[in-house]
Amino acid sequence: MTQLSVNINKFATLRNARGGDIPDVLKVAKDLEGFGAQGITVHPRPDERHIRYQDARDLKPLVKTELNIEGNPIPKFIDLVLEVKPQQVTLVPDAEDAITSNAGWDTLTHKDFLCEVIGTFKKAGIRTSLFIDPVAKMVEGAADTGTDRIELYTEEYARTFKTGDLSGIEPYAEAAGVAERLGLGINAGHDLNLDNIRYLKEKIPQILEVSIGHALVCEAIYLGLENVVNMYLHRLR
């Protein structure tokens, strides 16, 4: 079975918008595990606009499944990961002002840098994954860095699937085949949702883990909206 790691950044966005601790991201993480999630993902950014660095520290002793910390390996991020020692670190080349991740690594251009960072994390016993586009030469470059896994950046797949074009899965399946032959584990994430996740799994059964946050939270709000409204009405009668 492909494992589900839930990205809880969006819960932190809601908390930060109002101040205080509602929703409590620590309780959210524990509840998600109780509901069956097999991992918790956080992506702290330098401005801490959603998940804060302290959240990552506080989550480590609470998460009983797998803690995955993702982000751009700037010095502050590297220090955090080495302090917290999550089960997995996912390296993402996002700019500090990026709203969300929007590109995979050029594993050829940044090979030396990635080798150094990955080596540092692996010495600390932390599994590493590289966020990359579904391009064979980038997968091959990833293998040369010493990473344990890649995470396929699935935004383009999600976009084409939404239009009814199922051929968008093809480069992902090809990239996954290259990764498998090279001995790399395969994760996937970005814009995956209830509509497109099954087809992805059917076509790339070797995916070990998906990381889903924004869509899952939006779907949870909508699918639970009627129930909550009726709970309020019941209490007001």
Please give the single-letter amino acid code of residue 71.
Answer: G
Which listed residue (33, 50, 66, 70) is catalytic? 70
Q: Among the options 43, 50, 66, 209, which is catalytic?
A: 43
- Residue 228 structure tokens: 């909550």
* b/e per residue 69-103 (b: at least 16 CB within 10 A): bbbbbeeebbebbeebebbbbbbbbbeeeeeebee
Q: Is 172 within 8 Å of 154 (Cβ atoms)?
A: yes
Instruction: Give the active site residue among 33, 66, 151, 190.
Output: 190
Task: Compute the distance between CA of residue 212 and CA of residue 218 in angstroms, rounded to an integer.
Answer: 11
CA 2 to chain centre: 14
- Cβ neighbours of residue 41 under 8 Å, at least 6 residues apart? 5, 6, 7, 8, 68, 69, 70, 90, 211, 213
Question: Is 70 an annotated catalytic residue?
Answer: yes
Q: Is 138 helix (H, G, I), strand (E, B) or coil?
A: helix
Q: Examine the residue annotation and report whether 43 is marked as an active-site residue of this protein.
A: yes
Residue 103 and residue 21: Cα distance in Å, rounded?
A: 32
β partners of residue 131: 151
**What residues are annotated to the active site?**
43, 70, 190
